[in-house]
Chain A
Amino acid sequence: MLIKFSSMMKTTAARLSALYLLLFSLCAIFLVFYMTHLAGGFLVNQTKVSLDQELQSLNRVYNRGGIRLLVREIDRRSRRPDAFVYLISDQESRFLAGNIAKIDRGVLKSEGFTAKPFRYTRIGEQDEELDDDDAPRAIGQRIKFPNGLTILVGRDLGEPDRFRKIIRSSLGLALGMMGVGGLLIWFFVGRRALRRIDSVSQASAHIVGGDLSKRLPVSTANDEFDRLSVSLNAMLGRIEKLNSGLREVSDNIAHDLKTPLTRLRNRAEAALRSGKSDEDYRDALNDMIAESDQLIQLFNAMLLISRVEAGYSKQNETELQLTEIAEDVAELYEPLVDEFGGKLVSSIDDNLMVVGNRQLIGQALTNLVDNAVKYGRSEDTVISIYGRRSEDQKHAVLIIEDNGLGISPENRERALQRFVRLDESRSEPGSGLGLSLVAAIMDMHKGTFVLEDAEPGLRAVLTFPIQKTTAKT
């Protein structure tokens, strides 16, 4: 619990709320003092005003009947409930009349308004000591007569004091409650945040540990934590894909590069061992060159795929007419198909504008047509190239279709993987990378690549997002 609390103190949220709480308390304390000061001042003023009125009325009494009448009037007024504070004393500070039993020393020495409130006790009330903090306090006006008499008329400050106390205690209470509430909220919110962060860091520790399939937890709250987790998860997905691609390649390199290398080596060995004539050596060398050309092609294809997947430079991306690219490919292959007696049909709509790399798209298309030719060299072969817009006009769709053997549904997914050659005999030249290169190229162009059954035959569907500015036709 203690450890948890101390680690919670370390969170940014806790620090921020502590700072907030501190500032809030300072403001509140200032507010309490300022308000009680203002209110107190106001009540003291009120007291002064009523004192003045009392003095004026006593003055009138004095004018009418002199000191005698004044003393009598004061005596009478002192007995009224809720009376002012009255005191008449002589030169020796003996109390002659009024309602005061004790008073702070020195109050009667000077004249005029009392600068500071003084403490006193009334006659008949509990005999309290003056130094007691609970002793009542008052302010008052002192008048000295020529004959040495001093008259003090004062007003008790109990009311403003009580008022001040009430305000202070209620504000203090409110402040305390807010403080406790703030602490509770901070505790629970902070702990919740901490728990979320803990789960995220736990998950990332797993991921760092090598489990790239793990994802950060996403709650249903859809708050900033979730949004952060979602985007981090997307990043992880991308990394995982790249990583698994890399692993797959290194797995396959071992197999698919070593096989031709072994063949190359065997061929050289065989020629050395059993070569009889120059002709034999020449044949062996020619075979070896052909074999190494295959290797180079394989290597180039691998490099190209990894570069395309890593996000090929955008430098060569331009607005392109897919129509032209597809027509060029059709035109390139038409004589070849014609030669073995097959048919190449193309029907490509005008104005299929996309953004991309002409070389790469051209290569993707030639790969597909190449495949169709490779696995269907017969007189009945019909290869079709279609180009059109999707129904929502948002995509350009290129279709390359043949009527050959096709790929069985369970193999279609596998065909897109690297180095997979469904033709087990490997009698046709090829790297086994053709379709995965197409997939990588389509991925880079934010398009899709799907293999379908053309009944009979294989249909490859390439979908490109269409370029918006030129889509209005």
Chain B
Amino acid sequence: MSMKFLIIEDDVEAAKYLRHALDEAGHVADLAHNGIDGFALADHGGYDALVVDRMMPKRDGLSVVAELRENGDNTPVLILSALGEVDDRVTGLRAGGDDYLTKPYAFSELLARLEALVRRGSTSDNQSQYQVGDLVLDRLSRDVKRADQSILLQPREFRLLEYLMRNAGQVVTRTMLLEHVWDYHFDPQTNVIDVHISRLRGKIEKGFDKPLLHTIRGAGYVMRA
């Protein structure tokens, strides 16, 4: 599925690189190099998501997002910033951003987050059941079944699987998992997440032929039937 993004970023080099990379990933992106042009383009509409740099000359990114939200525009926004502390993140999200990524970032991280944002806009969050292949997760009864066989999960494993299945078909990075499943906005140095994933994998795939939880090298994980 090809998506259309608007990149509002004053660093021309970085913006071009980003457009090129998105292009390679099969998406389309427009560029704006300051807040004023960016707002005009975004206000015109037609984008699946916006990538907004926080600190720009003429007009800063947060005010652009805030005004769009005031006008009732709910296009998902990913805020990019060199400021990465918890407070900065809180102010960014409070201004109306949907996600916050600190520079410098890995492109795979940005892509995963952008796609997740767009997908989240289309699929409803309040779905009571997620299904990937023959794996079914019921959010109300908290039951997980594969091919009608019940699978017993720890609470954290359940949340991990729930997040992965909500973003099924979508690459989910380790930091996204830390943020959404553990609510940690920092990276432990060791590969703790990998171990949790392999435990979960053991529970949902053991005894079944078809793998559902795939590792994407250098990026993260994806649930796919």
Contact = CB atoms under 8 A, between A and B. Distances in A.
B192 A332 contact: yes
B199 to A, nearest CB: 5
A359 B185 CA distance: 7
Contact of A373 (B86, B184, B190): B190
Contact of A362 (B184, B190, B191): B184
B87 A313 contact: yes
Interface in B72-126: 84-87, 90, 102, 104, 106
Interface in A258-305: 289, 292-293, 296-297, 300, 303-304
Contacts of B189: 297, 370, 374, 429-430, 434
B69 interface: no
Q: Is the contact region of chain B dominated by helix, strand, or loop, or is it mixed?
A: loop
A114 interface: no
Contacts of B84: 300, 303
A363 B84 CA distance: 15
Interface residues of B, number: 23
Nearest to A369: B188
Contacts of B195: 335-336, 338-339
Interface in A417-457: 429-430, 434
B17 interface: no
A370 B87 contact: no
Contact of B104 (A296, A370, A374): A296
B199 A316 contact: no
Given A307-B85, A316-B86, A316-B90, A331 B188 contact: no
A292 B106 CA distance: 11
A304 B184 contact: no
Contacts of B184: 359, 362-363, 366
A336 B90 contact: no
Interface in B170-220: 182-192, 195-196, 199
B190 A370 contact: yes
Nearest to B105: A296
A36 interface: no
Contacts of A303: 84-85
A293 B189 CA distance: 12
Contacts of A339: 195
Contacts of A366: 184, 186, 188
A357 interface: yes
Contact of A316 (B87, B106, B156): B87
| Best-surrounded residue of A297, A339, A357, A359 (most CB of chain B within 10 A) | A359
A338 B199 CA distance: 11
A394 B183 CA distance: 29
A336 B182 contact: no
Contacts of B199: 335
Contacts of A293: 106
A129 interface: no
Nearest to A359: B86
Contact of A331 (B87, B156, B190): B156
Contacts of A127: none
A303 B156 CA distance: 31
Contact of B86 (A292, A336, A357): A357
A198 interface: no
A333 interface: yes
Given A296-B104, A335-B196, A315 B87 contact: yes
Given A307-B85, A359-B184, A315 B90 contact: yes
A328 interface: yes
B186 A336 contact: no
B4 to A, nearest CB: 28
Nearest to A363: B186
Nearest to A366: B188
Contacts of A292: 104
B6 to A, nearest CB: 26
Contacts of A297: 187, 189
Given A362-B186, A363-B186, A333 B87 contact: no
A141 B145 CA distance: 135
B52 to A, nearest CB: 21
A357 B87 CA distance: 10
B215 to A, nearest CB: 16
A268 to B, nearest CB: 17
A336 B189 CA distance: 12
A332 B188 contact: yes
A296 B196 CA distance: 25
Given A315-B87, A316-B87, A332 B182 contact: yes
Nearest to A332: B192
Contacts of A434: 189
Contacts of A370: 188-190
A341 B187 CA distance: 23
A200 B103 CA distance: 48
| Best-surrounded residue of A357, A366, A434 (most CB of chain B within 10 A) | A366
Interface string A302-339: 01100100001101100000000000100111011011
A312 B86 CA distance: 10
A212 B198 CA distance: 54
Contacts of A304: 85
B123 to A, nearest CB: 28
A300 B82 CA distance: 10
A421 B124 CA distance: 49
A373 B183 CA distance: 22
A300 B86 CA distance: 12
Given A316-B86, A336-B192, A338-B195, 12 more contacts: A292-B104, A297-B189, A312-B87, A332-B182, A332-B188, A335-B192, A339-B195, A358-B183, A359-B184, A362-B186, A363-B184, A373-B190
Interface of B: 84-87, 90, 102, 104, 106, 156, 182-192, 195-196, 199
7 contacts: A316-B87, A332-B182, A333-B192, A335-B192, A336-B192, A357-B86, A430-B189
- By Cβ-Cβ distance, the 9 closest A-B pairs, closest first, are A335-B195, A336-B195, A366-B188, A363-B186, A359-B86, A313-B87, A370-B189, A335-B199, A336-B192
